[in-house]
Amino acid sequence: MMSKSKDLFSFEGYAIPLPLLMATGGGPDTFSVISETHIRNITETCGLGPGMNVLEIGCGIGRDAIPLTKILGPNDSYLGIDIIRDSINWCSSNISRRHSNFRFLHFDIKDQLHNPGGTFKTADLPIPLENSGTDLIILQSVFTHMFERDIVFYLQEFRRVLRPNGRIYATCFIVDPLVLRSARATNLTQYDLSFKFSVGRGCYINNPEVPAGAVAYEYDAICRMVRRAGLLPAQDYLRGGWSGLYENTKDGQDVLILKPKTDSVPSHEIIDAQEAYLGAIEKRLDASEPHYDGTPLPRPTKWKLW
């Protein structure tokens, strides 16, 4: 709810500056609902609960961190990282002051939208956590602003810091011809997410003038990155509502649930995941269905995803 000051937003006992809230994404009308949705989905898919060490990339003003203070125990840990310095300063001064096991770090990474004066590149700043000590990694709308080299860097870092049974919850935009056609026809978001510009290797951007403003990937491109990092899908990805194609969606964006690949992963698990994906594509991409530009869709062929 809004506080008495028009410049502050009251959320679970915190008075959040409205400009920082807007920088996190959404606005006052959706902030609480989005937070509740995030926590519910993470709990259902990743087993969120006490006894976890959590890393969040793109923590913003604490939309997920604040409710996590009521879930994680005093002996658990949370590290939030963001490229917006003012958001990190606010979280440190407010959330960390009440919960000493919640830490926040500013990564001064150059970003056209959120930190144009940044000093570093993504690969210059590894995650400052020990190997194999993290149970859960959260990224809300981070990969939607990143290209493959930087995504692979982060995925490899996640593989390093995750425990063998750890999980990654990452939202993104996953596209195929039907998704693109629906998104262009429905235009459900304020950002006009049409992804008309292909930049190769299964990657699409929304605006050539601001390439990282919104970035989408075909699922096989996602799998290529995941495989390179030594990770696996823990389940089929959750379809988001952003394109208007799917009903009964869990989130506005598509959601990847990933886990480390270990020597103990049964080969049939890899094969089953591959077959499930290819089967779903085969059903949806019938040869009679046109591309958005009227050309026929190619039949999928089998390739090694993991």
- Which tens digit of pLDDT belongs to each residue from 221-279? 999 999 999 999 999 999 999 999 999 999 999 999 999 998 644 444 444 544 554 45
Q: Which of 89-98, 147-156, 246-255, 295-304 has the lowest mean pLDDT?
A: 295-304
Closest among 113, 112, 108 to 22, alpha carbons compared: 113
Measured CA distances, 211 to 20, 145, 172 (Å)? 23, 8, 15
Please report how many Cα atoms fall inside a 13 Å half-sphere around the Cα of residue 148, on the Cβ side. Answer: 18
3 state SS of 85: helix
- 114 alpha-carbon distance from chain centroid: 16
Q: Of residues 25 and 91, which shows the higher confidence score? A: 91
The dihedral sign for the CA sequence 85, 120, 139, 100: negative
Annotate 136-160 with DSSP letters as a single string: EEEESSSGGG--HHHHHHHHHHHHH
Percent of the chain scoring above 90 in pLDDT: 76
Mean pLDDT of all residues in 118-135? 95
Pairing, β 215-218 against β 231-233: unpaired
Q: Which domains does the chain have, with CATH numbers?
A: 28-266 (3.40.50.150)
pLDDT at residue 270, rounded to an integer: 44
Instruction: Give the model's pLDDT for residue 287.
Output: 39
At residue 294 the predicted structure's pLDDT band, cuts being 50, 70 and 90, is very low
What is the pLDDT at residue 70?
Answer: 97
